[in-house]
C-alpha cells in the first residue's frame, strides 16, 4: 500500500470497478444486484459506499448505513492483491467513523457461517458474536435464500 491511499465516498464513475471488486472478492450472490445495491445506498442520506483508492486504482470498499438506531456494514472488500497490508482495518475505521459522525453508537455486520477467516478478521478488530437469530422474508415474493 502506498502513501497515495485515499478512502472517500464512491464516485458514480467507480461503480463498475467496485462491482468487479466485489465479484473478485466473492461477495456477490445470484439474488443480489450489486450495482442496484450501490445505487440504492447512494440515494439515501443514511447510507454510503466508501471506496479505497491506491495510486488511483480501486483497491477496497465498504457499504455502510444506519436505521437511526444501529449502523450496518456490508460489502467489505479488499482486492486480493492488496491484502495483508492493513487496508481492511482502514476501511472498517472509515465506515465506523462515518457512522459515529452521524451519532450512531453501534456497528453491526453479518458473516456467513462458513466464513471463518472473515470472523477472525472481525474478532481482531474487537467485534463480538451476539446471540441473535436473524430472520428474513423477501418482500417481492422470492423463495427463501441462504
Express each pLDDT in 122-143 by its tens digit. 999 999 999 988 888 889 888 8
pLDDT per residue over 37-67, tens digit each?
999 999 999 999 999 999 889 999 999 999 9
Q: How many CB atoms lie within 10 A of CB 49?
A: 23
| Helix, strand, or coil (residue 116) | helix
* In contact, 2 and 118? CB cutoff 8 Å: no
Q: List Cβ neighbours of 82 (8 Å cut-off, separation of 6 or more).
A: 1, 54, 59, 60
pLDDT range class, residue 2, cuts 50, 70, 90: low
Q: All 3 cell numbers of residue 73?
A: 456494514
* Mean predicted confidence (pLDDT) in 5-27: 95
- DSSP 8-state class, residue 101: T
Closest CA to 80 of 56, 57, 49, 59: 59
Lowest mean pLDDT among 22-36, 91-105, 132-146: 132-146
Closest CA to 3 of 124, 101, 90: 90
* In contact, 35 and 21? CB cutoff 8 Å: no
Read off φ and ψ for residue 54, nearest 5 degrees. -120, 115
What domains are defined for the chain?
A: 6-124 (3.40.630.30)
Closest CA to 122 of 91, 81, 82: 91
Q: What does the pLDDT read at residue 96?
A: 97
The whole model's pTM is what?
Answer: 0.91
Amino acid at each position: 500500500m502506498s502513501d497515495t491511499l485515499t478512502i472517500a465516498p464512491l464516485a458514480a464513475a467507480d461503480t463498475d470497478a467496485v462491482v468487479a471488486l466485489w465479484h473478485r472478492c466473492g461477495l456477490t450472490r445470484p439474488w443480489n444486484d450489486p450495482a442496484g445495491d450501490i445505487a440504492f445506498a447512494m440515494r439515501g442520506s443514511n447510507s454510503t459506499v466508501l471506496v479505497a483508492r491506491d495510486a488511483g486504482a480501486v483497491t477496497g470498499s465498504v457499504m455502510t448505513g444506519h436505521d437511526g438506531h444501529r449502523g450496518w456494514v456490508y460489502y467489505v472488500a479488499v482486492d486480493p492483491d492488496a491484502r495483508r497490508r492493513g487496508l481492511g482495518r482502514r476501511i472498517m475505521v472509515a465506515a465506523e467513523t462515518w457512522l459515529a459522525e452521524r451519532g450512531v453508537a453501534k456497528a453491526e455486520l453479518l458473516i456467513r457461517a462458513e466464513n471463518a477467516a472473515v470472523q477472525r478478521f472481525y474478532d481482531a478488530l474487537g467485534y463480538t458474536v451476539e446471540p441473535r437469530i436473524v430472520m428474513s422474508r423477501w418482500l417481492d415474493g422470492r423463495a427463501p435464500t441462504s
